[in-house]
Amino acid sequence: MKIYTVRSGDTIYALARRFGLKPEELVYANQLQNPSVLSIGQSLVIPVDSVRYTVRRGDSLYRIAQRYGVTPAAVAAANTQLGSGERIYPGQVITIPFRTPHLGTAAVNGYITDARTETLNATLPYLTWLSPFSFRADAQGELTPTYSIATDRSAAYGTANLLTLTNLKEAGGFSGDIAHSILTDSDAQDNFLQNVSDLLDRGDWSGVNLDFEYVKPFDRESYNQFLRRFAERLHARGKLLVTAVAPKTSADQSGLLYAAHDYPAHGAAADYVVLMTYEWGYTYGPAMAVAPLDKVRRVLDYAVSAIPPEKILLGVPNYGYNWTLPFVQGSAAKALTNVAAVTLAGTVGAQIRFDEAAQSPYFNYTDAEGRRHEVWFEDARSLDAKYRLAAQYGLAGFSFWNLNNLFRPALLVLESLWSIEKAP
């Protein structure tokens, strides 16, 4: 598979012909909403491993390689018949290689809070676990459904289901008070654990995905003790415990998001730990990449020192934001899908740029009211960079937030690099 960056003059039809595909194959792989409009700088997934090319008069290996976005050395290596002189002549047929390295087998989790059946059917083949945002706890340890899904379709794709439990309030937002009660009140905790056991008895769940956020700093040790107790109960039943933690860069990082998430404790108790490595660019913050690679690396540098790398699932965002500029504190960016971001760029005639430090795409435009905008999102290039981090750090795999909306390039790039671990 190849990731191609659109240049001036490119069209879907010309690119399809160049890479030996039908136009509709390119449109499908990239979910193009308006195939007649491509933006300069837009990334496209080209779902081929190689192309057979007939040399023309005036061609050189350098020119051919440049045309296809590969190196002359890669072309020469794929065509040993050329010999050391790398001589080519008109009419000669050579191979242009696009194979990506196989990095191993990865475990992949996908959160959902809402999804159409067709989206789930397209996504489940690429997942080890599906984690519907299933139940929210209250201060007494009672569990209320937050999202209902027919999990029986997962088994057909070899995907397991994880019961996702949160400390969300009924009105929305995570509650430190709810977490405090479950972590410190023995009656509430016993009730919570019994309710979880009842759900595991009734449903097709391979384990629990625990997402307690905004836990109060003074509840850190209570949370650790609870994790140990919870893990022991789940493991006795042959069930997994997966936990989600904020993206920390040091053990003593302060703040409501971070302080109570003790990486070594989670790493010791849980089977897998999801690093929520996203939301640097967020709804109420200034315009920036949602998951800039340089900042993700800083989190990983600390995480692998505190949690066994083979237990870590790297958080991967599946969305972007549109900010109105200049940023004003209290203003809100608009969330949008990656597909919608690319469509918007084409509609407003924006060139898509790529930030090398963040390894993320973005673009700017001015709307009909004269307001300036900045949009950051994920594309095949940014996801490719994130997927390769797992091999560099020896991680278990990935966790998507979230998979409500299908972004096919994310799945195709993942599959090109990794084999997906499936439930036994």
Residues labelled as active-site residues: 213
Specify whether the CB–CB gap between 184 and 139 falls below 8 A: no
Give the C-alpha separation, 244 to 307, whole Å: 13
Sign of the CA dihedral with 76 first, then 79, 85, and 87 last = negative
Give the C-alpha separation, 423 to 162, whole Å: 12
Is the backbone peptide bond immediately before 121 cis, with ω within 30 degrees of 0? no
Nearest residue to 223 (alpha-carbon basis) of 170, 276, 273, 263: 263
Per-residue b or e along 350-380, where b marks 16 or more CB atoms closer than 10 Å to that residue's CB = bebeebeebbbbbbbbeeeeeeebbbbbbbb
Angle between helices 380-393 and 408-417 (to 10 degrees): 30
Give the C-alpha separation, 136 to 19, whole Å: 49
What's 53's DSSP letter? E
Tokens of 207: 């384990």
- Up-side HSE of residue 219: CA atoms within 13 Å toward CB? 24
Largest CA distance in the chain: 82
Give the C-alpha separation, 352 to 345, whole Å: 7
Nearest residue to 320 (alpha-carbon basis) of 347, 348, 291, 299: 291
